[in-house]
Amino acid sequence: MRTPRFLALLLTVFLGGASLFAAGFRLAAPISDHMVLQREKPVAVWGWADAGEAVTVSFAGQSKSATAGADGKWMLKLDALAASAEPRTLTVVGKDGHRLEVKDVLVGEVWLGSGQSNMAMTVQSSNRFESEKAAAKFPLIRHYQESSSHAEKPQAEGKGAWSACAPDTVGRFSAVLYFFGREIHREVGVPVGLINTSVGGTPIESWVAAETQSSDPETKANYDNRLKDYLAFDESKAGELHAKQLAVWRAAVAKAKKEGKEFVTPAPKDPLAMRRFKGGPAGLYNGKVANLAPYTLRGMLWYQGEGNAGNPGLYEKQLSQLVTSWRALWQDEVPFAWVQLPNYRNSDSESWPRVRESMMKVLALPKTGMAVTLDIGDPKDIHPKNKQDVGKRLSYWALATVYDRQVPAICGPLPAGHKVDGKEIRISFRHADGLKTRDGGPVRGFRLAGADKVWKTATARLEGTEVVVSSADLPSPVAARYAWAENPDCNLVNGAGLPATSFRTDDWPAK
């Protein structure tokens, strides 16, 4: 007679074998319960099976087959699907009883969002969370959290899960993605999938493939330096320094508590933990982007730049590389937009306006857009809580250019050219219908300089979609700048109330 212990052992072996069996026949992480598939485009579905195994995917009345390669990977594309809010099941069948089911699948619009902390920032950390939470009854909005880490080489597989929007789940969604997606859902009327792959405190070098960065001498030199610093990191010394910093911080906390004072300084970050979290250059591309392709998308959104303010002159090339290389990875020239850096701090540095300028220049790429946020930052907080307006401004661009909807304006006024006319400089703008000042007062934020490159405060008048700038102290101006500061005092907006970008007409080196 077999003992209970023997039966338990047999059951353990059986279950363990089943687990191993199932692990070999699997789908890519984003192909999972509660997902949203992109409508009106062939839909990529992929996974792994035994080498040479025939796999059939069935969904919405159609079936497609593929054969796993020598590495076990297979991929196929379903024919374009119509939008559907009906929860359906996608079935994957292989040989010898291999079968997987993906449940509660919708079809609508899918957008990917990436960047650093302001894209990672959650709804529960943004403005008016309690009211947003109560109103978050949108089961047709789905959020996928990519939870893999960095990697030394591009990874075929990742980790993550989809969540349907509800009051008890929305707090963990990317705020920018959620507020963007909510506008798309409301205006277009179809399910919306939001794929979030972002990590706080990361430079753009982390998100671009090593080969791409090495394709240009400037970005290659920067990549090589970043990699050298990453590899030279001394873990033992960093640990010792952090321990000392932590001891000082704890002593300060104890002292404040003893004196009955509030102590708000956060604990020093562990550099070793941060290094392991972020990885080196190209590390997040390898671990958190490569594995998401070729999940079929409508477009991509980007919110980053703070981590590159120390080298703003290179950012135009880097952002261009990111856009073009991600499109190449997906083999699809999808619409791509980003959030321009907002107002922040009050130093004399030109770093932030120069990053904003780089972002504006990359609009030369086709099918790109930018949300100007110069008026909704926080001078005292690098993580402004007003993510509602950020998402809405991104949605204006998407609704107008991707979905052919009427919006108040695609974005804030952007410079379209200038002409020096005696004592004045005349600047034209696009996206400038109804050009005005936010407060109804005189235009603020312009400066002029002559050939000596000495900047003078200027006055300006509005003439349709043009601004005419002059200065009583400057009879022969040669260059103009607007809102050229980290936290500028400026007030130029279009009729929709969207702010003009900071810009300059010169290309003089930063002082």
- pLDDT, the chain, mean: 93
Give the pLDDT of residue 443.
98
Give the mean pLDDT of 30-44.
Answer: 98
Q: Is the pLDDT of residue 459 over 80?
A: yes
| pLDDT surpassing 90 at residue 188 | yes
Residue type, 244: K
The token pair that represents 247 in the structure block: 């001891």
Please name which of 312, 387, 373, 394 lies closest in space to residue 120, comparing C-alpha atoms. Answer: 387
Higher-confidence residue of 273 and 144: namely 144
Contact 7, 13 (CB under 8 A): no
Which pLDDT score, from 0 to 100, does residue 14 have? Answer: 36
- pLDDT value of residue 143: 98
Whole-number pLDDT of residue 245: 87
Write the pLDDT tens digit of every residue in 436-447: 999 999 999 999
Asked if residue 217 has a cis previous peptide bond (ω within 30° of 0), the answer is no
Residues 191 and 106: beta-carbon distance below 8 Å: yes
Residue 243, pLDDT > 80, answer yes
Q: Identity (one letter) of the amino acid at 464?
A: G
Single-letter amino acid code for the residue at 181:
G
Average pLDDT, integer, range 27-55:
98
Instruction: Give me the count of residues in the chain.
Output: 511
Which tokens is 368 given?
A: 């790109």
Percent of the chain with pLDDT over 70: 95
Q: Residue 270 in contact with residue 242, Cβ under 8 Å?
A: yes
Confidence of residue 233 (pLDDT cuts 50, 70, 90): confident
pLDDT at 8: 39
At 137, phi and psi to the nearest 5? -110, 70
Q: What's the rounded Cα separation, in Å, for the pair 424 and 421?
A: 5
pLDDT at 375 over 90: yes
Buried b (16+ CB within 10 A) or exposed e, 406-417: ebebbbbbbbee
Type of residue at 398? A
Lowest mean pLDDT among 7-11, 134-138, 365-369: 7-11
Distance CA(273)–CA(191), nearest Å, equals 38
Residue 232 is predicted with a pLDDT of 85
- Res. 192: pLDDT tops 50: yes
pLDDT for 448 equals: 98
**Confidence band, pLDDT 50/70/90 cuts, at residue 6:** very low
Q: In this predicted structure, what is the pLDDT of residue 13?
A: 34
Q: Tell me if residue 246 falls in helix, strand or coil.
A: helix
Which residue in 404, 144, 479 sits closest to 292, CA to CA?
A: 144
479-490 per-position pLDDT tens digit: 999 999 999 999
Confidence of residue 23 (pLDDT cuts 50, 70, 90): low
Which whole number is the average pLDDT over 288-292? 98
Cβ contacts of residue 422 below 8 Å, gap of 6+?
Answer: none
Is residue 10 predicted with pLDDT exceeding 60?
A: no
Q: What is the model's pLDDT at position 11?
A: 37
The pLDDT assigned to 7 comes to: 39
pLDDT at 278: 78
Residue 97 neighbours by CB distance under 10 Å: 8
